[in-house]
């Protein structure tokens, strides 16, 4: 007898032993439904659960599927076990243990799912159930043993390549062995846990964060692939363990006082009976189909009607809108004609009321559409939208009635002006977007963290009672307020990261129904804004976004710099003049800057290279250590001079230092000036 005959004989012997165990120990396989927490008979348990009895002589699809899955593990049809193992696990010479483990987990999950699908919504006689349980047990055992054979074969190859001392390594516990559920060893808490999982599975609930969700269906029965919150996990536990509804579960819950433990387990466990929902932020459900904002293959958007059956079964959309979707198939949105072709009158009215130029309106649609994507997903613009204006100018409508409405409330982070400096940002890490609708100058987010959040860089955020979060930030954000944050704008580090719209006009007679109109308009808003964004991505390419933004935004950037950067404010004041023929002694310029900040009550920044290099470089200003004639005293002076910039004559004549000049340079050199005026950072 050769080795292959030994392997077949061994497998046949294993099968005979399992068959013998079945015939000798039928009571061991007597079925007690997992949702029944007592020792009732299968018929009683089924009746208690309200399950309908079915005629099992009729071989339905579920039974066929389960039988087909189990048949895969009948290795006697192969010449030997190794041949069957290689076919079953698609073993290649390069296969790793991790790859085999991954495939094994998939096989066990598929077998178990087929088994529970067979059992769901039916009561099965004990004898028939014993057959199914044995089929599952044998198939899972064979899957495990075959996996172990493959793994040990790989380990033998690895052993031949060992170059270290194996006696210096620690032996690890092996959890590879498959074991079926043994209801006899369960304590009350475990019975309640399995009962909850069975009930969640039967009700087709899925988990999202700490809540139970159910799928939304259209009135004509189409699965929308969007899910809505049904209740929290804690609410589910209490609502299904009431004394009048299920006394056994109520008895265990009140006796063991295990709700906290049960809630934690159901929130964190990995179990196919209570799967996590993984939403696609680019997908949105409507009454007539699903809109995909971006398809990886075509690099375009697409609409999938329910009637055509093309929607992937595992797709979970971000939100359901109870409106039909018009994909505007007759419009060539790639031709950049989306602005006039897709009407959004309510959203457009907000912009028109602010008298925004058309190019600024178009970029508003672009940046709203940008909120449908992760940061740096399609571009690296490294900017954030900011709408500045007083109350009643419509800025909040765009933030809270448009952008916020793209997603479920659980997926939108709202940052108050007083956001907690240490923990605030951590609240948004699992969202799709974040919005700060009422920003003031004292916005509490730390400047360094703000810059990282805008750019999409590594962010370390503290979480209460947990380890700090260290991750690459990818949530897009939008800000609105009557003032921009009072961050230090050294070298334009803040101004270049904010694209600013100005809402200057308060609407005296506001439309109280505008929110409802925007809601009705949402399908077209999503389509239009997405087309606008994709069009801009193609246009900008790898360029800096500021190379393509119109003059409106460059002007607003300069105005913002004057508010956030005292030095820029000084350069734009009437104290300063520019020109290739202009020169200014460094000491005079720094003193004029400090006097300017003092007189206007601006937050003064020290005169450093970081402060002046950016603005000077833009204006072509450079420094030189030389001897030049002073523009006001007309006397030669040796020192550091700035070329390309000067102080106005009105500044000199109005300055206490220069106004008393009598023609003797010593009068100025020996003049005592205030501490404010004497500070210099050369």
Residue-range domains of the chain with CATH: 3-165+173-184 (no CATH), 186-327 (no CATH), 348-558 (3.40.50.300), 565-678 (no CATH)
Q: What is the pLDDT of residue 43?
A: 36
Residue 233 corresponds to which tokens in the numbers above?
Answer: 């996990």
Nearest to 420 by CA among 461, 365, 369, 478: 461
Q: What is the mean pLDDT of residues 488-515?
A: 89
Higher pLDDT, 520 or 87: 520
- In the block, residue with structure tokens 């075959």: 146
pLDDT band for position 14 (50/70/90)?
very low
Q: What is the mean pLDDT of residues 107-124?
A: 80
HSE-CB at 390 with a 13 A cutoff on CA atoms is 6
d(CA 225, CA 616): 56
DSSP symbol at 402: I
Q: What is the mean pLDDT of residues 563-581?
A: 89
Q: What is the pLDDT of residue 584?
A: 95
Helices (H), 90-214: 97-119, 126-159, 188-202
* CA distances in angstroms from 15 to 9, 50, 76, 218, 408, listed in the order given: 10, 37, 10, 49, 53
For 238, other C-beta atoms within 10 Å of its C-beta total 14
Instruction: Give the containing element (helix H, strand E) for 333.
Output: none
CA 607 to chain centre: 41
d(CA 460, CA 475): 14
Nearest to 590 by CA among 571, 574, 603, 572: 571
Residue 387 corresponds to which tokens in the numbers above?
Answer: 């709408």
Q: What is the pLDDT of residue 58?
A: 40
Q: Is 295 within 8 Å of 301 (Cβ atoms)?
A: yes
DSSP symbol at 277: P
285 φ, ψ (degrees, to nearest 5):
-100, 145
Cα dihedral: 406, 409, 415, 420 (round 10): -150
Q: What is the pLDDT of residue 31?
A: 29
Strands 433-439 and 412-414: parallel
- In the block, residue with structure tokens 């959040």: 453
Strands of 576-585's sheet, edge to edge?
576-585, 636-647, 622-629
pLDDT band for position 388 (50/70/90)?
very high
Highest mean pLDDT among 160-164, 214-218, 599-603, 673-677: 214-218
Q: What is the pLDDT of residue 671?
A: 47
Residue 300 has pLDDT above 50, yes or no: yes
User: Which segment of 12-21, 398-407, 528-537, 558-567 scores lowest on mean pLDDT?
Assistant: 12-21
Q: What is the pLDDT of residue 217?
A: 95
Residue 274 has pLDDT above 90, yes or no: yes
d(CA 405, CA 522): 8
pLDDT band for position 46 (50/70/90)?
very low
* CA distances in angstroms from 299 to 34, 293, 295, 360, 535, listed in the order given: 48, 10, 5, 26, 11
With a pLDDT cut of 70, the percent of the chain lying above it is: 82
Task: Indicate the average pLDDT of the chain.
Answer: 83
d(CA 78, CA 97): 23
Helix (H, G, I), strand (E, B) or coil at 64: helix
Degrees, nearest 5: CA angle 271-142-27: 75
User: Which segment of 12-21, 167-176, 229-238, 452-461 scores lowest on mean pLDDT?
Assistant: 12-21
Higher pLDDT, 105 or 238: 238
Nearest to 293 by CA among 318, 310, 313: 318
DSSP letters spanning 61-83? HHHHHHHHHHHTT-GGGSSSHHH
Highest mean pLDDT among 82-86, 431-435, 440-444, 675-679: 431-435
Q: What is the mean pLDDT of residues 401-412?
A: 96
Question: Which residues are CB-neighbours of 252 under 8 A, at least 6 positions away?
Answer: 37, 188, 189, 191, 192, 241, 258
Q: Is 456 within 8 Å of 375 (Cβ atoms)?
A: yes
625 φ, ψ (degrees, to nearest 5):
-90, 105
Q: What is the pLDDT of residue 585?
A: 95
User: Which segment of 226-235, 246-255, 422-431 scores lowest on mean pLDDT?
Assistant: 422-431
Q: What proportions of the chain, in percent to the nearest 5, are helix, strand and coil?
A: 50, 15, 35
Residue 656 has pLDDT above 90, yes or no: no
User: Which segment of 50-59, 365-374, 405-414 scores lowest on mean pLDDT?
Assistant: 50-59
pLDDT tens-digit series, residues 305-357: 999 989 999 999 999 999 999 999 988 776 678 999 999 999 999 999 999 99
HSE-CB at 4 with a 13 A cutoff on CA atoms is 11
Strands 206-208 and 280-286: unpaired
Residue 75 has pLDDT above 60, yes or no: yes
pLDDT band for position 492 (50/70/90)?
confident
For 79, other C-beta atoms within 10 Å of its C-beta total 10
- In the block, residue with structure tokens 């096989």: 107
Q: Three-state SS string across 171-190, please?
A: CCCCCCCCCCCCHHHCCHHH
Highest mean pLDDT among 23-27, 161-165, 535-539, 664-668: 535-539
d(CA 112, CA 276): 17
Residue 424 has pLDDT above 90, yes or no: no
pLDDT tens-digit series, residues 116-125: 888 775 667 7
DSSP symbol at 478: E
pLDDT band for position 416 (50/70/90)?
very high
Higher pLDDT, 565 or 215: 215
Higher pLDDT, 144 or 552: 552
d(CA 194, CA 185): 13
d(CA 429, CA 422): 14
d(CA 152, CA 136): 24
Q: What is the pLDDT of residue 13?
A: 37
283 strand-pairing partners: 292
Higher pLDDT, 130 or 446: 446
Q: What is the mean pLDDT of residues 383-390?
A: 96
Q: What is the mean pLDDT of residues 593-602?
A: 89
Strands 317-320 and 412-414: unpaired
d(CA 403, CA 370): 10
For 167, other C-beta atoms within 10 Å of its C-beta total 5
Helices 126-159, 81-89: inter-axial angle, 10-degree rounding: 90
Q: What is the mean pLDDT of residues 165-183?
A: 57
Residue 447 has pLDDT above 70, yes or no: yes
Q: What is the pLDDT of residue 525?
A: 98
Q: What is the pLDDT of residue 480?
A: 97
d(CA 421, CA 444): 6
Higher pLDDT, 38 or 117: 117
Nearest to 379 by CA among 538, 550, 548, 546: 538
Highest mean pLDDT among 151-165, 384-398, 660-674: 384-398
User: Which segment of 334-348, 351-365, 420-434, 553-567 scores lowest on mean pLDDT?
Assistant: 420-434
414 φ, ψ (degrees, to nearest 5):
-110, 115
Q: What is the mean pLDDT of residues 267-281?
A: 94
Q: What is the mean pLDDT of residues 530-539?
A: 96
Residue 197 has pLDDT above 80, yes or no: yes
pLDDT band for position 517 (50/70/90)?
very high
pLDDT tens-digit series, residues 602-639: 878 889 888 888 889 989 999 999 999 999 989 999 99
Highest mean pLDDT among 5-9, 142-146, 171-175: 142-146
- In the block, residue with structure tokens 């399908």: 523
Higher pLDDT, 578 or 422: 578
Nearest to 65 by CA among 138, 12, 136, 140: 136
Q: What is the mean pLDDT of residues 549-574?
A: 89
């Amino acid at each position: 007898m050769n080795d292959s005959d030994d392997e077949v004989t061994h497998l046949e012997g294993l099968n005979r032993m399992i068959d013998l165990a079945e015939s000798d120990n039928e009571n061991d396989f007597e079925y007690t439904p997992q949702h029944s927490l007592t020792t009732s008979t299968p018929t009683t348990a089924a009746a208690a659960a309200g399950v309908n009895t079915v005629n099992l002589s009729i071989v339905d699809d579920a039974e066929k599927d389960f039988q087909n899955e189990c048949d895969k593990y009948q290795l006697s049809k192969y010449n030997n076990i190794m041949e069957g193992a290689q076919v079953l696990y698609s073993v290649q010479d390069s296969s790793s243990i991790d790859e085999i483990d991954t495939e094994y987990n998939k096989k066990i999950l598929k077998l178990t799912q087929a088994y529970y699908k067979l059992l769901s919504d039916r009561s099965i006689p004990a004898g028939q159930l014993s057959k199914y349980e044995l089929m599952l047990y044998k198939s899972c055992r064979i899957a495990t043993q075959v996996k172990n054979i493959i793994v040990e074969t790989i380990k033998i190859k690895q052993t031949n390549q060992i170059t270290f001392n194996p006696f210096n390594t620690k032996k690890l516990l092996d959890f590879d062995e498959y074991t079926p559920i043994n209801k006899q060893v369960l304590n009350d808490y475990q019975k309640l846990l399995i009962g909850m999982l069975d009930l969640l599975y039967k009700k087709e609930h899925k988990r999202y964060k700490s809540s139970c969700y159910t799928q939304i269906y259209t009135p004509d029965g189409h699965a929308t692939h969007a899910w809505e919150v049904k209740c929290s996990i804690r609410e589910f536990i209490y609502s299904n363990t009431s004394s009048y509804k299920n006394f056994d579960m109520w008895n265990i819950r009140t006796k063991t006082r295990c709700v906290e433990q049960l809630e934690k387990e159901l929130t964190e466990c990995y179990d196919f009976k209570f799967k996590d929902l993984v939403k696609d932020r680019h997908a949105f459900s409507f009454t007539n189909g699903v809109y995909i904002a971006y398809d990886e293959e075509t690099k375009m958007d697409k609409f999938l009607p329910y009637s055509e059956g093309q929607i992937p079964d595992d797709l979970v959309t971000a939100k359901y809108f109870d409106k039909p979707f018009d994909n505007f198939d007759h419009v060539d949105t790639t031709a950049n004609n989306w602005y006039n072709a897709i009407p959004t009158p309510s959203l457009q009215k907000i912009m028109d009321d602010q008298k925004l130029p058309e190019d600024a309106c178009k970029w508003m649609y672009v940046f709203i559409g940008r909120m449908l994507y992760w940061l740096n997903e399609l571009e690296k613009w490294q900017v954030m939208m900011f709408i500045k204006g007083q109350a009643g100018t419509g800025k909040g409508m765009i933030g809270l009635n448009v952008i916020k409405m793209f997603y479920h409330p659980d997926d939108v982070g709202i940052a108050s002006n007083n956001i907690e400096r240490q923990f605030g940002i951590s609240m948004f890490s699992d969202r799709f977007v974040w919005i700060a609708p009422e920003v003031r100058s004292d916005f509490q987010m730390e400047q360094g963290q703000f810059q990282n959040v805008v750019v999409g860089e590594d962010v370390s955020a503290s979480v209460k009672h947990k380890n700090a979060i260290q991750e690459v930030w990818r949530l897009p954000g939008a800000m609105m307020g009557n003032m921009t944050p009072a961050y230090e704008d050294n070298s334009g580090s803040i101004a270049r990261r904010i694209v600013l719209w100005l809402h200057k006009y308060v609407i005296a007679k506001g439309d109280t129904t505008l929110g409802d109109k925007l809601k009705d308009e949402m399908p077209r808003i999503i389509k239009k804004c997405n087309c606008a964004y994709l069009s801009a991505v193609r246009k900008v390419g790898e360029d800096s976004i500021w190379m393509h933004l119109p003059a409106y935004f460059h002007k607003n950037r300069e105005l913002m710099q004057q508010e956030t950067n005292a030095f820029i404010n000084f350069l734009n004041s009437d104290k300063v003049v520019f020109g290739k023929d202009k020169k200014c002694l460094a000491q005079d310029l720094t003193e004029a800057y400090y006097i300017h900040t003092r007189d206007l009550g601006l937050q003064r920044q020290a005169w450093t290279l970081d402060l002046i290099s950016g603005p000077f470089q833009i204006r072509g200003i450079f420094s030189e250590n030389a001897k030049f004639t002073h523009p006001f005293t007309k006397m030669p002076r040796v020192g550091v001079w700035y070329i390309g910039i000067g102080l106005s004559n009105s500044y000199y004549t109005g300055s206490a230092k220069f106004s008393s000049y009598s023609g003797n340079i010593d009068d100025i050199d020996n003049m005592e000036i205030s501490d404010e005026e004497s500070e210099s950072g050369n």
